[in-house]
Every structure is written in C-alpha cells, then in structure tokens.
Amino acid sequence: MALMDFTTLTEPDPPEVTVRADAVSDEKLTLRLTDLTLTDVSFLPSSAAAVPVGIVSMLLSKPAASAVRQFFEDRTLDLPIDQLLRTSFPAGDTEVKVRLDRPELGSHNGMLMISGTVSVS
C-alpha cells in the first residue's frame, strides 16, 4: 500500500461509452468514441495519510469527470482485425483459404455489418 492510497468510484459505475465504427480495412477497424456518460469521479481515501487530501479530492469529483469526458470524447481507436477477415480450413488433402477483400462498413437492424467480396483459393 502506498503512503497515500485512494479508491476511485465513478457515477455511473461503470461509465457508459458509445462508439461508432468509422472505417475498416484489411488490417483494422477504426472506432470513434462519440459519447461518454460520466457525471462523477470520487477519490475516497484508503489510507490514513490520504484523509486530509481526501477533502480536497471530493471537491474535484465533478471537474475530474468533466476533464475525463473532454479528454476521451471524439478519440479514435484502431482495433487490429487481420484474423477476422481471413481464415483457412482443410478439405480433404487441400487447404481452402477464404479472404474478405475490399471490406465495407454497414449496418443491419442496428448491428454493425462488415461486407465485401469473398475470395476463395
């Protein structure tokens, strides 16, 4: 345990995060964080030495939540998806390779859909 230890609580717990799929390629899916519901970040003292600082940290709970939201909103994250777009399987003495070429993003009944041209070799 550190000299000054704090337990962090968020409201809501966990924070609600909304992302949008921005782009897809053969190697990655790009997600953009469009909304972060976070109204409060509380720092509760977990050690005796942290108690005096705990009062000040309680005053910072709303500004801390606002700073976290501003920092993360509209950020992008690239997720590698190389293995999701290619696969292979044995068929007798041959290995069949299936690949999704020219992937495109779309949606179907509110769900993310990745479509494209399938190449089989």
Confidence of residue 82 (pLDDT cuts 50, 70, 90): low
Confidence of residue 24 (pLDDT cuts 50, 70, 90): confident
88 token code pair: 């292979």
| CA R_g for the chain | 23
Confidence of residue 57 (pLDDT cuts 50, 70, 90): confident
Average pLDDT over residues 41-46: 88
pLDDT at 2 over 80: no
CA distance 101 to 121: 13
Name all contacts of 102-111 with Cβ < 8 Å and 24+ positions apart.
Answer: 103/24, 103/25, 103/26, 104/24, 105/21, 105/22, 105/23, 105/24
What is the percent of the chain with per-residue pLDDT over 90, rounded to a whole number? Answer: 29
